[in-house]
Structures are given as C-alpha cells and as structure tokens.
Structure 1
Amino acid sequence: MRLQGRLAIVTAAASGMGRAGVERFVREGAQVAAIDIDPAALDALVAEFGADRITPIAADLSTPEGARGSIDQAVAALGGADILWAHAGMPGPASVETLDLVAYQKAIDLNITSAVLGAGQVAPHMRARGGGAIIFTSSISGLVGSMMSPIYSAAKWGVVGLAKSLALALAPDNIRVNVVCPGLTDTPMKLGFTGRSGDPAEAAANEARIVAAVPLGRLVKPGEVADAVLWLASDEASFVTGVALPVDGGFTAR
C-alpha cells in the first residue's frame, strides 16, 4: 500500500473529487482527517469507510478561523500530518461588470486564502516529521483564461503560483508542493460553471462546447483527479515538486 502509516488531511472531502481522494487514501493505508462544510456528508463518509480510518471535521474554510482551526483539529486528531490535499474551492461570480463584492470575497477566501492558511498551518507539523506532501487543487482555468469564470481563473492562477513558490521555500524541509489542474469534472459543482443562469439548455450547450474542445472527448471523472493526487502524495512522486499537473484530456495541450 502506497500510503501505509501516513497521516493525511483532505479538505472539501465529503463529495466529488475530494471524496474520491479519501477513498483512495484509505485504500492505500492512510489515516485521514476529512474536512468539509457539510456535517451530514461527513457522517456518510465515516459510515462508509469507518471511524477507525476517518476523522470528520466540519468547518467553513472560507473563514480564517475555519481554515486554520480545522488543520489544528486534524493534526491533533491524527498526531501529526504527512499529506495535505487542499482541495476546497467554488466557482465564484461570473462577471466583473456587475460584481457582487461579497460573493467575490468569499470566492477568493475559499479558492486561495484557505490554501495559503492551510499550508502555513500544516508545514511546521510536516517539518517536525521530516517532510511531507502538499497538493493544491487549481484548475485548467489556472493555466489558461476562462471566459465564463474570470474570478475563479484569477484565484486558480494564484494557487499555481503559490504551489511553485512554496515548492522552492519548503524544499529544504523535504516538503514537496504540487498542484493538480482538472478540466471540467463530472460533479454537481459543474453546474456552477456551465449553468449559472439556471437554464438547463444553456448548461447543456456550455458543457457540449467544453467537451468539444477536449481532445479525449469527455469530462474528467472525479476518480481520475484523485488518482493523480494519490500519485503526487506517494513516494512514487518523491522527486516531483513545483509541478502543475493537468488532468484535462489534453485541453491545455492545444
């Protein structure tokens, strides 16, 4: 098992890509602290994978108290930390011309500030254990511009820059820092990107247009992103740091 005995923290852990990551981490031998805003979904996660393997932590990562406090709770429960997958994020506002500043700030806080605070909170604990692996979730929108989600894109570009910078800063401590960049993924959140107006026809048309631009011709599956994160967290990627890894069916290869 690739993560036998490792202590892992996953944010936005109770659904979609995060949930798939928890499943893989547990399967590969890790003890997992699962952080999510939805207590009921966390309960379901524990029911499936077992309280002996999963520590559920309910927190709102868009607040500094939630972002920092949840990591502290996770480290205390696990007895340390070897892996952090900072996965929390949200689409955010679609337009800069009619920008809701409250919605804008929440998107920035969740997409990038929570990643900054989580990494800062966990790094000393990884250093104390001789190293670790931090993986952030960005997006293809952190590698190329997004006409539908400019605020999201701006935040996710920031996450890529954060990962590359921390990879340099934390390398002397044997802490590897990488970022995974999924394309449009088949999770409930996809409607936050394709169906902002609430019109199902518009959502379907937007999805079809995105799929048409993917060389492999489909959406990403949550497990495919989780598999990439599992590899980045494992010793198989022991000499990989500072990488922004697209999981996008070739979208960004054009």
Structure 2
Amino acid sequence: MRLENKLAIVTAAASGMGRAGVERFVREGARVAAIDINSDALNALVGEIGSDKVVPIVADLSTAKGATESIDQAAEALGGVDILWAHAGMPGPASVEDLDLAAYDKTIALNVTSAALGAGRAAPHMRKRGGGAIVFTSSISGLVGSMMSPIYSAAKWGVMGLGKSLALAMAPDNIRVNVVCPGLADTPMKVGFTGRSGDPAEAAANEAKIVAAVPMGRLVKAGEIADAVLWLVSNEASFVTGIALPVDGGFTAR
C-alpha cells in the first residue's frame, strides 16, 4: 500500500474530487481527517468508509478561524500530519463589472487564503515527522486565462505561485509541495462554472464549448484527479516538488 500508516488531511472532502481522494488515501493505507462545511455529506462519507479510518471535521474554510482550527483539530485527532491535500475552492464572480466585493473576498479566502493557512498550520507537524507532502488544487485556469471565471483564474494563479514558492521554502525540511491543475470536472461544482445564470441551456452550451476544446473530448472525472494527487503524495513521487500537474485531457497542451 502506497500510504501505509500515513496521516492525511483532505479539505473539501465530502464530495467530488475531495471525496475521491479520501477514498483512495484510505484504500492505500492512510488514516484521513476529512474537512468540509457539509456535515451531512461528511457523516455519509464516514458511514461508508468507517470512523476508524476517517475523522470528520466540519469547518468553514473561507474564514481564518475555520481554516486554522480545522487543521489543528485534524492534527490532534490523527496524532500528526504527513499529507495535506488543500483542495477547497469555489468558482467566484463571473465578471469584474459591478464586482460584488463580498463574493470576491470569499473566493480569494477559500481558494488562496485557506491553502496558505492550512499549509502553515500543517508544516510544523510534518517537520516533527521528518517531512511530508502538500498538494494544492489549482486549475487549468491557473495556467491559462478563463474568460468565464476571471476571479477564479486570478485566485488559482495565486495558488500556483504559493505552491511553487513553498516548494522552495520547505524543501530543506523534506516537505514536498506540488499543485494539481484539473480541467473542468464532472462534479457537483461543474454548474458553478458553466451555468451561473441558472439556465440549463446555457450550462449545456458552455460545457459543450469546453469539451470541444479538450483534445481527449470529455470532462475529467473526480477519480482521475484523485489518482494524480495520490501519486504526488506517495513515495513514488519522492523527488517531485514544485510542479504544476495538468490533468486536463490535453487542454493546455496547445
């Protein structure tokens, strides 16, 4: 098993890619603290996998209190930290015209600030255990601009810079830091990008445009992102740090 006896934290863990990550981490031998704002979904996850393998932690990671205290709680419950997948994020406003500053601030807080605070809180625990692995979730919108999601794109470029910078800063402590960059995924958050107006026809049209631009001709699956992250946090990637790994069917290869 690739993560035998490892202690892992996954944020935004109750659905989509995060849930797939929890499932894979547990399958590979880790004990996981699953952090999410949705208590019902967390309880369902624990019910399916088992409370001996998954510790549920309910937190609002868009707040500094939630982003820091949840990591502290996870570290205490697990008895340490080897792995952090800082996955929490949200689409954010679709335009900078008449920008809703409260929505803007929440988008930056959840996508960027929670990742920075989480890494800062987890790193001392990793150092005590001789090292660790951190993965941030950016996006293809952190590699190329997004005309539909400019604030999200700005946030995910920030996540990219954070990951690369921390890879340099934490390397002496044997803490590897990498970034995964999903394409549009077939998850519950998909409609937040494609159908902000609430019009199903608009959502379907936008999705079709995106799929048409993907050389492999489809959306990425949640499990495919989780598999990439599993590799990044495993010993198979022991000399890999500071990379941004697109999992996008070739979208950014152009």
TM-score range, shorter chain: over 0.9
Structure-1 residue corresponding to 2:138: 138
State the Cα deviation string for residues 14-45 of structure 1 (Å, max 9, x = none).
Answer: 00000000000000000000000000001000
Structure-2 residue corresponding to 1:247: 247
Q: Which runs of 4+ in 1 moved over 6 A?
A: none
**Paired residues for 1:198-237 under 5 Å:** 198-237=198-237
Whole-angstrom CA distance in 2 between matches of 1:192 and 1:55 = 28
SS at match of 1:8: strand
Whole-angstrom CA distance in 2 between matches of 1:252 and 1:98 = 30
Whole-angstrom CA distance in 1 between matches of 2:188 and 2:13 = 14
**Paired residues for 1:38-117 under 5 Å:** 38-117=38-117
Structure-2 residue corresponding to 1:177: 177
Query: Normalization by structure 2: what TM-score?
Result: 1.00
Whole-angstrom CA distance in 1 between matches of 2:42 and 2:221 = 21
* Structure 2, unpaired ranges of 5+: none
State the Cα deviation string for residues 30-66 of structure 1 (Å, max 9, x = none).
Answer: 0000000000001000000000000000000000000
Offset, 1:98: 1.5
SS at match of 1:115: helix
Offset, 1:107: 0.4
Give the letter aligned to residue 76 of structure 1. E
Instruction: Report the identity percentage.
Output: 82
Whole-angstrom CA distance in 2 between matches of 1:41 and 1:201 = 28
SS at match of 2:96: coil
State the Cα deviation string for residues 179-234 of structure 1 (Å, max 9, x = none).
Answer: 00000000110100000111111110000000000000000000000000000010
State the Cα deviation string for residues 144-174 of structure 1 (Å, max 9, x = none).
Answer: 0000000000000000010000000000000
Query: Normalization by structure 1: what TM-score?
Result: 1.00
Offset, 1:114: 0.2
Number of aligned residue pairs = 254
Whole-angstrom CA distance in 1 between matches of 2:194 and 2:148 = 8
Whole-angstrom CA distance in 2 between matches of 1:25 and 1:89 = 20
Structure-2 residue corresponding to 1:28: 28
Offset, 1:242: 0.1
SS at match of 1:223: helix
Give the letter aligned to residue 187 of structure 1. T
